[in-house]
Chains A and B, each alone.
Chain A
């Protein structure tokens, strides 16, 4: 008899794990999947492309319902099917509508929740996050009838939202609490170049700004944003994009050990040996996750253990950053800010909008920021992961791999 695997979460991490598992051990499990969103599985990171009109929802569907049927997976979707309780004793999970499933192994892939800023007015109409298809559809609706959008957060998600709304014809201002955009992915110089380029695309910025309050009209709809310095900004749509937090409520309530996320070991196993977790809901060796690349790696390792091969170990590798804004190329990887023991190499061509910075420590590349020309991003990542000594090629390193072939 097959073992039973239950997956909570129909997102990218969970489904990638299932795909990996099906390819490694197709007959091992009867699989049941619970998803809150009423679709098959879609590529969440492409939502930006849907927002800006480069893609449709259909384009970003990874697995439709037919796929689940073909694979013999039992799929429950919709808010009434969202799991509300895990009974670890009986190894059963219960959905809101009472649907239950028994597991031999449970995979938690509940993802993350947008951080909601603790400011007054955060519950006004027209104040939304940017997380799922529902959010995208609301933004698209607003863009047809409203003018002024404010995006809180100059990180990847916020900038993608802002770019999309601007392309949909809205007058968009990005509010960022740091003086530098993408300050977690870019150094100040690259951040400034990015800001300049986005400004040329008619985005506005209010940098190093502290939001005090969201002001609503009598219908409870947002009309303005007030800042700590007393200034105000008119606003019809307010997007909160200041980050995500692991969605671990369900696990916590089930008594699974959590800190900032569901704590897992190198095999993606939680403190309960029959329960695994992957994706943005987890905490691994102190890290939480927000980008897709490590999720896929986790999926691979997790599937390896679920299929009882049991040899893979998850290691968090430096993750490269990419911004999905057409025409803007940026890339960063590793420790690109460096420290006093690091050496850095810089290249800029202001007119071409190119900036590169490589950080070297003990003759190894440990970080890179590329702006404008990201051709060699993957090469740098490779050098960094393989810890290749660079003394021999140092003088040409920043000019890229092709340059090494030159005489």
Chain B
């Protein structure tokens, strides 16, 4: 039995609609983009396309566990509730905390927040959105009086100029990026400017790339404000009618940017490039400023957000089609989390602790006497408090702080010290679940039911495709069950997600009017939505209320803001450098970020084999000059160290990286790499306003990692490898790949391989073996019934063959003799082509295949390559790489 279910993607903040063709019988689903969804109109990126590969039950957390043993829901929930009650009785409500996630659905988020802030009575409900969006939230709040994203995706097509600031949208928001690319192709006069220290794939469509010095964005936009003033481009009418604080902001801007030359010098840009940017901004009315983590993850992130918004307010370019500041959110439901008040300084429904009327209002709405009255601890402070023993119980939901938090090794220690750690997750083994006392099996994406809100305020339904795995439960159910056991039966008596959504909608409209205070977030039209209508809910942009029953594309079109005065606020920005600057010991700047084909801590994307091929190993991008200086040849391993921790990564030498800067991906965990957690290095420095960590700037040093042996294993089944200091596990199609290196040499490779490296393989395997002991080369393969089971390559140096041909052999039911005889060369026998590294993950097209086709068929454009090989014709995110091959 097959049926099509419309749902939404669980990855980035674009919030794409998905059409899922579900075959319940064999637990399989065919994923395609929902052509009717306004976020993507049918397009999907590589990650979204591969969702069908991630729904397997292997690796799922299927049962509640307490102290390492499976237990029943009743016992687990009692244990959580009683432990929280006991700690609260003894130490007060601020001794407990919830740490949530932008992956939770709005309904889950709502009840978690309600429990902590409304009934336990502590503000200690924070979320991993703190790591990604809180500077935007704070910037919005300061400028608009509300956390409002003014514009929408439709503005992409209407804009005359789009600036992408600190955003590698090509990889991090691929579907939005493809939409911008299409807009540019349809309208070549559309100017695209990318502002980013790195030359990323996003620069592929840029008319201008400003490779700014890390952390200098504030100066850049202050300089722009000054320039706009000098060039008399300001919209004085708008400034006078709808804003406050302009002169202070202009003064501050002028003070920090005396001249274009000075700004260019401080940002490390060519004066000519800077002039172009400023002139283009001045001469195009419809300008969109898209920004993301490059702005947010900074100790002055909030100021940078406001520096950008200042320029839009000063030109009146906000609230109208094709213009405005636009924050690209990281997570699928970061916006939903903000709506319910999931950050520690928020209360609920865009109401804050800063306003006692709000506290009173929410308390009345929730009918609670124990509402929290002050902000709780934000992520970094929260885990510090856990470390210090001030917070004694924490409940982590759907996130992996041991990997994602700055100074992540301290997070491990904090959780080890913590009296009571509860983790709700859909995956059994994560770096964080490893430290939990109680594990609660949450439903995964394909089982969950509720709503999310994307970057453009669009609320969409996420719908269950399958019945839950094992005894997994919805997060809202788990939370309400604990809440009831803690004595809050009445307030948490929900039967389903839609009841929660109704209450959330009702709260958004509760006393939301000009008399009692107008709030931007209002979806009161849904306060009484029926189950049926909830099930059929179509994507809609909030507000959804009496005035806008069909939703609203843009805010601030009327020049009215949610400040007390109703006017937007200019913020005087005094640009600050990052807190920790490079010095003699740590002379380089470490930048971190996402990859095209992985999501967060890889708990789900790494299950999809095709997503592991683009960048299989933790790597560090190094400028050629630095690589030379530090003795780091391409594809060797390097140790990167900061004052807080270290990691090992494969060196990629590229001039897309500025000299003095390094880049590492944020994704790898102990589950997939022994030394790949970048969070261990990141400085625990936060923005004073938003409390968002400065994850894009940590002083580090780098040196060659010099193992005495390196190698890899490809195995049909998963292995337990004990004898390798450096170890990366990569799931492939029908095989697991292990990249290995070690600093101690075993006495005998044969026995070491059979005992410690391939311990889980079949009995009585047939071995093929190659040994060149003098050179330190050992290779062997296990073949079972003529089929390749395992292949191992060990070398004293980095002279290992490419893995692509060997991995392709796992698809074969039996090896032909020429293949078998060539096996331990690692290269195909004469006459069999090697496809090379996979470039197009959607269609599995390799680099060598593309190169060969380009040569043979004389292909000139990426479109021609697409016609010939299909490469780059689905999500399109590999187009820059195809272009590079051309």
Given the interface pairs A343-B774, A349-B820, A395-B777, the reply to whether A403 lies near B829 with Cβ below 8 Å is yes
A403 touches B773 (CB 8 A): no
Instruction: Report the minimal beta-carbon distance from A369 to chain B, rounded to whole angstroms.
Output: 14
Name the contact of B829 in the complex, choosing from A347, A351, A352, A406 (C-beta under 8 A).
A406
With an 8 A cutoff between CB atoms, is B783 at the interface? Answer: yes
Q: Which of B218-226, B645-653, B763-771 contacts A (4 or more CB under 8 A)?
A: B763-771
B773 touches A399 (CB 8 A): no
A399 touches B825 (CB 8 A): yes
Given the interface pairs A343-B773, A348-B768, A406-B830, the reply to whether A399 lies near B820 with Cβ below 8 Å is no
Interface string of A381-399 (1 = CB under 8 A from B): 0000000000000111011
**Residue in A347, A351, A406 with the greatest tally of chain B CB atoms within 10 Å:** A406
Query: Which single residue of chain B is at the shortest CB-CB distance from A357?
Result: B771
Question: Residues of A contacting B767 with CB < 8 Å?
Answer: 348-350
Question: Residues of A contacting B799 with CB < 8 Å?
Answer: 395
A350 to B771, CA, bound (A): 14
Name the contact of A345 in the complex, choosing from B772, B783, B820, B822 (C-beta under 8 A).
B772
Given the interface pairs A395-B777, A405-B830, the reply to whether A346 lies near B821 with Cβ below 8 Å is no
Question: Residues of B contacting A403 with CB < 8 Å?
Answer: 822, 825, 827, 829-830
Q: Which residues of A from 332 to 366 have beta carbons under 8 Å from B?
A: 343-352, 360
Instruction: Report the minimal beta-carbon distance from A4 to chain B, rounded to whole angstroms.
Output: 57
Question: Residues of B contacting A344 with CB < 8 Å?
Answer: 772-774
A360 to B775, CA, bound (A): 11
Question: Residues of B contacting A352 with CB < 8 Å?
Answer: 768, 817, 820
Q: Which residues of B from 776 to 818 have beta carbons under 8 Å from A?
A: 777, 783, 799, 817
B766 touches A346 (CB 8 A): no
Given the interface pairs A373-B821, A395-B777, A399-B821, the reply to whether A407 lies near B771 with Cβ below 8 Å is no
Given the interface pairs A343-B773, A343-B774, A406-B827, the reply to whether A351 lies near B822 with Cβ below 8 Å is no
Interface string of B813-850 (1 = CB under 8 A from A): 00001001110110111100010000000000000000
A345 touches B829 (CB 8 A): no
Q: How many residues belonging to B are interface residues under a CB distance threshold of 8 Å?
A: 24
Query: Which single residue of chain A is at the shortest CB-CB distance from B774?
Result: A343
Given the interface pairs A343-B773, A394-B775, A395-B777, the reply to whether A349 lies near B825 with Cβ below 8 Å is no
A347 touches B820 (CB 8 A): no
With an 8 A cutoff between CB atoms, is A402 at the interface? Answer: yes
Given the interface pairs A347-B824, A349-B820, the reply to whether A398 lies near B830 with Cβ below 8 Å is no
A345 touches B770 (CB 8 A): yes
B769 touches A394 (CB 8 A): no
Q: Which residues of B from 829 to 882 have beta carbons under 8 Å from A?
A: 829-830, 834
Query: Which single residue of chain B is at the shortest CB-CB distance from A373?
Result: B821
Instruction: Report the minimal beta-carbon distance from B671 to chain A, rounded to whole angstroms.
Output: 33
Instruction: Report the minimal beta-carbon distance from B792 to chain A, rounded to whole angstroms.
Output: 14
Given the interface pairs A345-B770, A351-B766, A406-B830, the reply to whether A396 lies near B825 with Cβ below 8 Å is yes
Question: Residues of A contacting B827 with CB < 8 Å?
Answer: 396, 403, 406-407
Given the interface pairs A343-B775, A351-B783, the reply to whether A406 lies near B822 with Cβ below 8 Å is yes
A352 to B815, CA, bound (A): 12
A78 to B316, CA, bound (A): 122
Question: Residues of B contacting A345 with CB < 8 Å?
Answer: 770-772
Instruction: Report the minimal beta-carbon distance from B385 to chain A, rounded to whole angstroms.
Output: 56
A228 to B827, CA, bound (A): 53
A343 touches B822 (CB 8 A): no
Query: Which single residue of chain B is at the shortest CB-CB distance from A356?
Result: B770
A399 touches B769 (CB 8 A): no
Question: Residues of A contacting B774 with CB < 8 Å?
Answer: 343-344, 360
Q: Which residues of B from 326 to 370 have beta carbons under 8 Å from A?
A: none
Interface string of A66-94 (1 = CB under 8 A from B): 00000000000000000000000000000
Instruction: Report the minimal beta-carbon distance from B829 to chain A, rounded to whole angstroms.
Output: 6
Q: Which residues of B from 746 to 778 have beta carbons under 8 Å from A?
A: 766-775, 777
Instruction: Report the minimal beta-carbon distance from A190 to chain B, rounded to whole angstroms.
Output: 14
**Residue in A343, A344, A347, A349 with the greatest tally of chain B CB atoms within 10 Å:** A349
B770 touches A407 (CB 8 A): no
Question: Residues of A contacting B821 with CB < 8 Å?
Answer: 349, 373, 399-400
A402 to B824, CA, bound (A): 14
B772 touches A407 (CB 8 A): no
Instruction: Report the minimal beta-carbon distance from A368 to chain B, rounded to whole angstroms.
Output: 14
Name the contact of A402 in the complex, choosing from B768, B772, B773, B829 (C-beta under 8 A).
B829
Query: Which single residue of chain B is at the shortest CB-CB distance from A396?
Result: B825
A406 touches B820 (CB 8 A): no
A343 to B777, CA, bound (A): 12
Instruction: Report the minimal beta-carbon distance from A275 to chain B, rounded to whole angstroms.
Output: 48
**Residue in A398, A405, A407 with the greatest tally of chain B CB atoms within 10 Å:** A407
Interface string of B278-303 (1 = CB under 8 A from A): 00000000000000000000000000
Question: Residues of B contacting A406 with CB < 8 Å?
Answer: 822, 825, 827-830
Q: Which residues of B from 235 to 253 have beta carbons under 8 Å from A?
A: none
A395 to B829, CA, bound (A): 15
A402 touches B783 (CB 8 A): no
Query: Which single residue of chain B is at the shortest CB-CB distance from A349?
Result: B768
Question: Residues of A contacting B775 with CB < 8 Å?
Answer: 343, 394-395
A406 to B783, CA, bound (A): 23
B834 touches A350 (CB 8 A): no
A80 to B14, CA, bound (A): 106
A345 to B711, CA, bound (A): 18
Instruction: Report the minimal beta-carbon distance from B512 to chain A, rounded to whole angstroms.
Output: 68
Name the contact of B770 in the complex, choosing from A350, A351, A398, A402 (C-beta under 8 A).
A398
Interface string of A86-117 (1 = CB under 8 A from B): 00000000000000000000000000000000
A348 touches B772 (CB 8 A): no
Question: Residues of A contacting B771 with CB < 8 Å?
Answer: 345-347
A350 touches B824 (CB 8 A): no
Instruction: Report the minimal beta-carbon distance from A354 to chain B, rounded to whole angstroms.
Output: 8
Question: Residues of A contacting B766 with CB < 8 Å?
Answer: 349-351
Question: Residues of B contacting A398 with CB < 8 Å?
Answer: 770
Question: Residues of B contacting A373 with CB < 8 Å?
Answer: 821
A402 to B821, CA, bound (A): 11
A347 touches B770 (CB 8 A): yes
A351 to B822, CA, bound (A): 15
A331 to B829, CA, bound (A): 23
A360 to B774, CA, bound (A): 10
Question: Residues of B contacting A396 with CB < 8 Å?
Answer: 825, 827
Instruction: Report the minimal beta-carbon distance from A13 to chain B, rounded to whole angstroms.
Output: 38
Question: Residues of B contacting A349 with CB < 8 Å?
Answer: 766-769, 820-821
A398 to B830, CA, bound (A): 16
A347 touches B769 (CB 8 A): yes
Query: Which single residue of chain A is at the shortest CB-CB distance from B783?
Result: A351
A346 touches B828 (CB 8 A): no
Query: Which single residue of chain B is at the shortest CB-CB distance from A402?
Result: B830
- For the complex of A and B, the 4 pairs showing the least CB-CB separation, nearest first, are A343-B774, A351-B766, A349-B768, A345-B772
15 further A-B pairs in the complex, CB-CB below 8 A; given A348-B769, A351-B768? A343-B772, A343-B773, A345-B770, A345-B772, A346-B769, A349-B820, A350-B767, A394-B772, A394-B775, A395-B799, A399-B822, A402-B829, A403-B829, A406-B825, A407-B834
* Sample of 26 A–B contacts (CB below 8 Å): A343-B772, A344-B772, A345-B772, A347-B768, A348-B767, A349-B769, A351-B783, A352-B768, A352-B820, A373-B821, A395-B775, A395-B777, A395-B799, A395-B825, A398-B770, A399-B821, A400-B821, A402-B830, A403-B822, A403-B830, A405-B830, A406-B825, A406-B827, A406-B830, A407-B827, A407-B828
Q: Which A residues fall within an 8 A CB radius of B?
A: 343-352, 360, 373, 394-396, 398-400, 402-403, 405-407
Q: Which B residues fall within an 8 A CB radius of A?
A: 766-775, 777, 783, 799, 817, 820-822, 824-825, 827-830, 834
